[in-house]
Structure 1
Amino acid sequence: MAADTATDAVATPVTSPEEAAPEEAGPKKAAPEEAGPKKAGEPRPEAGNGEGKPPPPKRRRGWRELLPTAALTIVPFAVTLTVMLIDIGKRQLWRDENATWWAASLPTGDLRKLADTVDAVLYPYYLFLHWWIGLFGDSETALRMPSAIFMALAAAVVALIGRRLFDAPTGLVAGLLMPAVPVISRYGQEARPYAMALLASVTAVLLLLRALERPSAWRWAAYAIAVLWIGYSHVVALMGLAAHLIAVVPAVRRATGRDRWWIVAGWPVAVLAAGLTALPLILDGDRQSAQISWIPNTTWARVHAFPGEMFLSPAVGGFFLALGFAAMTLLALSDSRRQRWIAAFLAFWAVLPPVLAYYTFHEFHFFLPRYLLFTVPAWVLLGAYAIRRLATPTGLARILAVTLVAGGALTFAGWDHQTAMRTDQAEEEYAFRDAAGYIAQWERPGDGIIFSGYDFLHRGFRYEWRHQPLAEQPREVLVAQPPGTEWSWVHPPCRDTAACLADGPPRIWLVSSDPSGWPTSPLPSSQQPDVDARYKWVSKTVFHRLWVTELERRPGQ
């Protein structure tokens, strides 16, 4: 098969895409050895070898030959990781991250029971983080560090994809643009599986391109593992496989002989093997699909806001959409067949998943920007190609200068979003940290606590009090807590309020996410009369989206 991508060892020379694919520049005469049938076992002449001589024997690549690849990957990795680490532990955990900590902190047996009930598709990530917490602890920084590393690795892989699709400078531009995108920083600093799914997606693309270049059993096996990793990270990202097919079809047409059969058989077998392995997880997730029924309907307002929400900045989203569609047009109108399939491949990767999510919303509820984060690298690659074209005539200094200007413009355009996402403004979150600190400052032994409103307020407070022994924390008084358990993942409410308050504590902290009316009015109607009859209001403190009310038992109660 004629090589159509760059090798791993040496950066692609800075040439136009047409020069990188000479077989498409026009008809050429066959070399003497190519004029007739080749004998069995005879080595194929190297692409572009005008004399038709067999290539020299393969030799082990030396460290000097690996330097270009190392530079191409290390620089985006280092820059992205540096950006991800800025204030990574400053923001408190938000609700979904509290759910991550809560699940990953369970014993593995209880975690398995949890996955049988909810969050089955997140079980592999929770299990990984359970192991991670055992090694590195559960601080905000520790919980988010895997996502930061995943995102930095993804930037390096995007650079390699850019080199294979276009050339090394384009890959470098793409890798360096990644950390300038606000959504990359957001999910590179979040204890959720989206960064891991993005890394798995770009890794699968890179391994696919390698397998199509020189197909073999080992390369298809590596690709199958990457596809399985996608499914185990976030099943929604499997929609990206449609773009993979767009890369496979022209590769089959270009390949000959044994290589063609390796591609024709290898890709479907790899996808089928990965799909069957991930199928139990996918079926469990489908059974629990009611969990994501809260996602808002696909109104025109949501569609209109989608690009800005996808990049977490309307200005940055507009930048990449404008450059991206311009790049798609240039590639699609090119005389080069290779550039046309690249246009189709990146279009299917960037555009098709959101379109599918939109038209299948009432069945699957996938039309949510963070679920489609894996499409962002395609837009970055298209933007990098457009920037690379603007940097002609070729020159490394010119390319770096244009990249710095583009990256600076993106940073400026998304600056407010970059800074806001490193604070609690990121999700307009409940003030868990402040409210929990206030209660910890004023609590006394024997205090009780009631959480009202949002069903999982207790998770945020338990995380903030995680270093305080459970016996020293306020005890929940309106929860039917199983004896001997620190906290129940079911968290059932008390059915008989009067009985639960019969031997209630002398003081109760009422924490509500619905601060309206009388301090006890956010309580369920079945609980409020009994609480009012036994406790009086002493003080009320307002935090962001939370009320903390101090209640004392009435005399004689």
Structure 2
Amino acid sequence: MPGLSHRTPAPAVVISALSALVIAGVGLDRPALWRDEAVTAGMARRDLGSFGSVLGEIDAVHGLYYLLMKGVVALFGDGEAALRAPSVLGAVLAAGATAELGRRLGGARTGLFAGLLVALAPALSRYAQEARQYTLTAGLAALATLLLVRALRDRCHLRWYGVALALLGLLHLFALLLVPAHLATVLLRRDRALLRRWAAAAAAALAPCAALAVVALPQSYQVSWIERPDAAAVTEMLDSLAGTPGFFAFTVVLVLLGRNGELWRTAAPWMVLPPLLLLVLSLWNPFYVFRYVLFCLPAVALLTAAGLDRLRWSAGLPVLLAAALLALPAHQRMRQPSERADDLRELARIVRTESRPGDAVVFHYTSSRRAMSAYPDAYTGLDDVLAVRPGQGLDGLEAPSEQFAGRLAGVRRVFYVHHSREPAANPFADADALKESLLRSSPATWTRTGRWLFKGGSVHLYERRPPFT
């Protein structure tokens, strides 16, 4: 990107980026897609007409990411590895840009330590193995901060900083909590001319984000499931930002040890202000979820690396090795099905194995229909019997509840999919209850002949009795 040096990347950058690529990429297709990733897969396959109509109703805040994923799917297919590859590249960018930031602000060792701490962080690797945009926001946050530091040091133009900031906000609006942190960094320089230049660049970047916010604000009901953060949520956030489970106490000591003027002025506001502002906001209206502040992880790594740099190699390397060893169980655990809310691959396997031509499928919750977007081949030939407009909206449109019995009248066998957790905002609760009643409470009409469990729910096979003729 223009605005960065065209010299060969420093060894710290290369080592950190390659480490992130290897760590995040191992077992990339091992975890099954889960419901959020199913939305990504479904949106990426849509034609542009239905794509735009969905964003007009819901998920506009993710529109740029979905557009990016449309290109990925068109070029590389919709397999698990292809869907998650941009997230891996986001982790690579986060590690490489953090290493370069550390090198510029603290020296070669600080850069190497910072980049490796980012690459080793289980939280980053966890979201690198998910087809969502959160590691991309971490990478863009690190890149934007790097461009800001370069502009502040060399007094060059901030246009590329503004571009990075705009992309960051368009990928996820909550990532714009980085802006107050950057403002604090600029104010600490006590340079009015610099402040005016930064304000102009930030205002230009925020303009398209403001337009997105106007569209997305009426859709905020989609995060109504978020609960007010408690002490446990804050503790989990601190542990995750520290990078490695059990490493929090060491991180605090190293952060305090490594107080370095310019690095501290850059990374400390970035580490503190976005999570703090989001937590305070969530006391009024709950919005806090850890993945929304994942982009602050590079800041913690920079401050920790500055502390490690104060130690001799003989002390610093063992601490880094200890962090890697402590992180290993978390990296292994995150690749297990238990780490996702549901296992849509297992659901697809059950349906694929047990279904016959002419069978139907009914989803207890309308929003569960998005499971078909994760592994669509498994549902080929199944009649989504209650759907009248499968492509409308995020989850399709179902027939009115008074038509349910009629639509099931000609069905011999139906797979009934029930997720364990009810959607927080469920305007179809009454209709959903009727589906269950028609099948489970009508033994004279239906008999259950099969039941299978998957992570996150169950599948029930109902057959009509007497035998369908």
Would you call these one fold, judging by a TM-score over 0.5?
yes
Which residue of structure 1 aligns with residue 427 of structure 2?
Answer: none
Query: Can you give the 5+ residue segments of structure 2 that lack an aligned partner in the other structure?
Result: 422-429
Distance verdict in 2 for CA 1:555–1:311, change over 3 Å: farther
Q: 1:452·1:514 contact (CA, 8 Å) conserved in 2? A: no
C-alpha separation between the residues in 2 aligned to 1:275 and 1:234?
A: 12
Q: RMSD of the alignment, in Å? A: 2.5
Letter in 2 for 1:385: A
1:480 to 360, 373, 387: 387
- Equivalent residues, number: 453
* Higher RCO, Cα 8 Å, sep 6+: 2
- Is residue 442 of structure 1 aligned with residue 442 of structure 2? no
Name the counterpart of 1:467. 377
Show the counterpart of 1:420: 333
1:502 aligns with 2:446: no
Q: Write out per-residue CA displacement over residues 364-387 of structure 1, whole angstroms, 9 at most, x where no aligned residue.
A: 533211100111111100111111
2:456 is aligned with 1:545: yes
Q: How far, CA to CA, are the matches of 1:541 and 1:356 in structure 2?
A: 44
State the 1:348 CA deviation: 1.2
| 1:511 to partner: Cα distance | 1.8
Moved more, 525-534 or 373-382: 525-534
1:153-302 matches, within 5 Å, as 153-216=93-156, 219-253=157-191, 261=193, 263-302=194-233
Do residues 303 (structure 1) and 201 (structure 2) align?
A: no
- Contact between 1:243 and 1:348, CA under 8 Å: does it hold in 2? yes
**Alpha-carbon offset, residue 402 of structure 1:** 4.8
1:95 to 35, 39, 53: 35
1:92 positional shift: 0.5
CA distance in 2, matches of 1:523, 1:282: 32
Kindly state the Cα deviation for residue 357 of structure 1 after the two structures are TM-superposed.
1.1
Pair 165,119 (structure 1): closer, same or farther in 2 beyond 3 Å: same
Pick the structure with more helix per residue. Answer: 2
Following TM superposition, by how much is the alpha carbon of 1:115 offset from its aligned partner in structure 2, in angstroms? 1.2
| CA drift at 1:345 | 3.2
Shift of 1:529: 4.0
Matched position secondary structure for 1:350: helix
Q: 2: distance between equivalents of 1:222 and 1:538?
A: 62
Q: Is the 8 A contact 2:446 2:463 kept in 1?
A: yes
**SS in structure 2 of the partner of residue 450 of structure 1:** strand
Mark the CA change 1:462 to 1:291 in structure 2 (over 3 Å): closer, same or farther: closer
Equivalent AA in structure 1 for residue 209 of structure 2 = A
From 268, 277, 290, give the equivalent of 1:356. 277
Counterpart pick for 1:491 among 385, 391, 396: 396
Amino acid at match of 1:237: A
Q: 1:434 touches 1:543 (CA, 8 Å); kept in 2? A: yes
Counterpart Cα distance in 2 of 1:312 and 1:174: 11
1:548 partner amino acid = V
**Post-superposition shift, 1:8?**
7.3
TM-score by length of 2: 0.89
Deviation readout 1:227-259 (Å, 9 max, x if unpaired):
101111211111112221233234454xxxxxx
Q: 8 Å contact 2:350–2:452 — kept in the other structure?
A: no
The structure number with the bigger radius of gyration is 1
Q: Find the counterpart in structure 2 of residue 373 from structure 1.
A: 294
Question: How high is the sequence identity, in percent, across the aligned residues?
Answer: 29
Q: Check if 1:321 corresponds to 2:246.
A: no
* Per-residue CA distance 1:204-244 (angstroms, 9 max, x = gap): 1111111112223xx31111101101111211111112221
Task: Tell me the alpha carbon deviations over residues 423-453 of structure 1, each in whole angstroms, 9 at most, x when there is no partner.
Answer: 21222x3232123212212211100111225
Residues of 2 paired with 1:309 and 1:214: CA distance? 34
| Contact 2:166–2:206 (8 Å) recurs in 1 | yes
Partner of 2:306: 385
Amino acid at match of 2:86: P
Query: Conserved in 2, the CA contact under 8 Å of 1:289 and 1:364?
Result: no
